[in-house]
Amino acid sequence: MKAITTSILACITGAMSLTACGQQPKATDNIAKPDGFAVLELFTSEGCSSCPPADEALAAVQKATEGKPVYILAFHVDYWNTLGWKDRYSNADFSKRQRRYGDLLNAQVYTPQLVVNGETEFVGSDLGAINSSLSKQLSVAPNPNLSLQVSQTGETVQVHYKANQPAKGSYLQIAIVQKDAQTKVERGENAGHTLSHVQIVRKLQTLPLNMAESDVKIALPKEINGQAWEVIGLIQDESTGKIWGAAKAAPNTGIAGK
């Protein structure tokens, strides 16, 4: 884990060469670049033996990019559930989301699959591809900006969002994300292993972006009681899947996004 984290951090801070990070140097690489953003969506499953390395890579990204505009979402799909082990974090809607990306990106659907900013996909444990994507996306000027404020009253979460010049044909997605968890897997391909997860999506709500600023109320999943969680918001193009902006906030705090 330490080696993976160090590699990712070196790439996004410029301490490692572009070639080593999976990119070719350009004449403009010595010029200061705007601070873009990266949304990483991992489609994973506790029943998949190839997924733990991708989960580990995602945890390394989370640690290495702390304080940077990197938004991590782990979607546990349900199509592995009949093969020996039922993933308690899985959701048929997440499998549907992955299939939609497959159609939009003309790509196969598999685990572990990582989709970046709704534009590109690759194997979720491919460290070189992760480094290259982070470097690329963080150098692009973000537009539009999105900011969130989140408060909790009992089992209800209220999200106040503000989107600056949202792109036409886009919609708002609000994800309730559990920060971390561990599962001892008893059957299936990962039988006998204890798996660690980060940024587990427990609920995803899609809303029309009719107003640049408004409030949204969401029921907090009962399973998340007592767990550390946050809200991640996305502005996504309905027809292409491209993500135009992202933000995150913890309960009773406001954190601006991109």
The model carries a pTM of: 0.88
Residue 51 has pLDDT above 50, yes or no: yes
Residue 211's pLDDT band, with cuts at 50, 70 and 90, is confident
- In DSSP notation, 84-95 reads T---TT--HHHH
Q: What percent of the chain has pLDDT over 70?
A: 82
- In DSSP notation, 11-64 reads HHHT-S-TTTTT----TTTTS------EEEEEEE-TT-TTHHHHHHHHHHHHHH
d(CA 182, CA 236): 30
Asked if 47 and 85 touch (Cβ cutoff 8 Å), the reply is yes
Residue 169 has pLDDT above 70, yes or no: yes
Q: What is the pLDDT of residue 23?
A: 47
Asked if 238 and 166 touch (Cβ cutoff 8 Å), the reply is no
Residue 257's pLDDT band, with cuts at 50, 70 and 90, is low
Q: Which helix (H) or strand (E) holds 123?
A: strand 120-123
Enter the tokens of residue 193: 């292993």
Lowest mean pLDDT among 16-25, 98-107, 121-130, 242-251: 16-25
Q: Which domains does the chain have, with CATH numbers?
A: 2-22+34-137 (3.40.30.10), 146-180+188-256 (2.60.40.1930)
The arithmetic mean of pLDDT across residues 48-58, rounded, is: 97
Residue 14 has pLDDT above 90, yes or no: no
The arithmetic mean of pLDDT across residues 180-201, rounded, is: 97
Residue 62 has pLDDT above 90, yes or no: yes
Residue 26 has pLDDT above 60, yes or no: no
Asked if 54 and 76 touch (Cβ cutoff 8 Å), the reply is no
Mean per-residue pLDDT over the chain, rounded: 87
Lowest mean pLDDT among 9-18, 32-41, 96-105, 116-125: 9-18
Q: What is the pLDDT of residue 165?
A: 72
Residue 167 half-sphere exposure, CB side, CA atoms within 13 Å?
21
Q: Which helix (H) or strand (E) holds 128?
A: helix 127-137
Q: What is the pLDDT of residue 18?
A: 43
Residue 28's pLDDT band, with cuts at 50, 70 and 90, is very low
Q: What is the pLDDT of residue 19?
A: 47
The arithmetic mean of pLDDT across residues 196-201, rounded, is: 98
Asked if 29 and 102 touch (Cβ cutoff 8 Å), the reply is no
Residue 71 has pLDDT above 60, yes or no: yes
Residue 34's pLDDT band, with cuts at 50, 70 and 90, is low
